[in-house]
Amino acid sequence: MKKILLALLLLVAGPTLTLAEPAATIGAKERCPVCGMFVAKYPNWVTRVRPADGAVRFFDGMKDLLAYYFQPAQYGGKEGTISEIWAKDYYTLAWLDARAAYYVVGSDIYGPMGPEFIPFASEKAAQAFARDHHGKQVLPFKAITEELVESLRAGQQMRH
């Protein structure tokens, strides 16, 4: 059954889909290094990075992962050391390489901490979601700026 679902997913999502390794078990006490939330409470929103030191860090959404990505030293990481970034496709919940994903910004769907970057494996799926949920932008990873991330985080209480 899993092989059939994966084949259908690849057919629908197209060649841009890049599956990442499955997530390690997320302990109930695992906290987002940016905001301090317990990430296991939000399994559909969990994202993660693997810095060069190999220690996986989990986040409660793409927005906090991106805050870490742009300013790792502010959250206990080191500059230029992130080797892998994973997100979950919003519809399928399949892990994908976050650098190959497309993100909807400004939709009527909120993550655990409000406005969120909603990840998709293909631009086509992101565009369809944006139409259905009033998304303002569809962006590839490389087009996301630190300023955009900070604008979505404005007014939120973050742990430092």
Q: 3-49, pLDDT tens digit by residue? A: 444 444 444 444 444 454 655 678 899 999 999 999 999 999 999 99
Closest residue by Cα to residue 111 from 43, 56, 52: 43
Q: What is the pLDDT of residue 22?
A: 53
Exposure pattern of 65-74 as b/e (b: 16+ CB <10 Å)? Answer: bbbbbeebee
Quick one: average pLDDT of 80-86? 89
Q: What is the pLDDT of residue 80?
A: 80
Identify the domain containing residue 49 by its residue range.
2-153
Domain assignment present for 160:
no
Are 107 and 130 within 8 A, CB to CB?
yes
Domain assignment present for 148:
yes
In this model, does residue 158 exceed pLDDT 60? no
Are 59 and 159 within 8 A, CB to CB?
no
Domain assignment present for 90:
yes
Domain assignment present for 12:
yes
pLDDT tens digits for 93-147? Answer: 999 999 999 999 999 999 999 999 999 999 999 999 999 999 999 999 999 999 9
Domain assignment present for 137:
yes
Domain assignment present for 55:
yes
Q: What is the pLDDT of residue 51?
A: 86
Domain assignment present for 159:
no
| DSSP symbol at 117 | -
Q: What is the count of structural domains for the chain?
A: 1
Q: What is the pLDDT of residue 115?
A: 95
Domain assignment present for 62:
yes
